[in-house]
Amino acid sequence: MAKRCSYPITRSSHKQNKRTSATSLEAQQVAAFLYVIECTWMNGYSATAFPNPTISQFTLKLTSDNSIDPITVRVIHEMGKVIEMRSKLTPGQTIQLGGAYRPGTYFVQIIQGKATRQIKVIKTQY
What confidence tens digit (pLDDT) does each residue in 7-66 have?
443 333 333 333 433 344 344 444 444 456 666 555 677 888 999 999 999 999 999 998
d(CA 111, CA 64): 11
The domain total for the chain is: 1
Q: What is the pLDDT of residue 110?
A: 93
In a domain, 96, yes or no: yes
Domain of 33, in residue numbers: 3-8+24-123
CATH number at residue 95: 2.60.40.10
Answer yes or no: are the C-beta atoms of 123 and 104 closer than 8 Å. yes
d(CA 98, CA 19): 40
Answer yes or no: are the C-beta atoms of 8 and 36 closer than 8 Å. yes
How many other CB atoms are found less than 10 A from the CB of residue 98?
Answer: 23
Q: Rounded to the nearest 5°, which phi and psi values hold at 28?
A: -65, -40
pTM score? 0.69
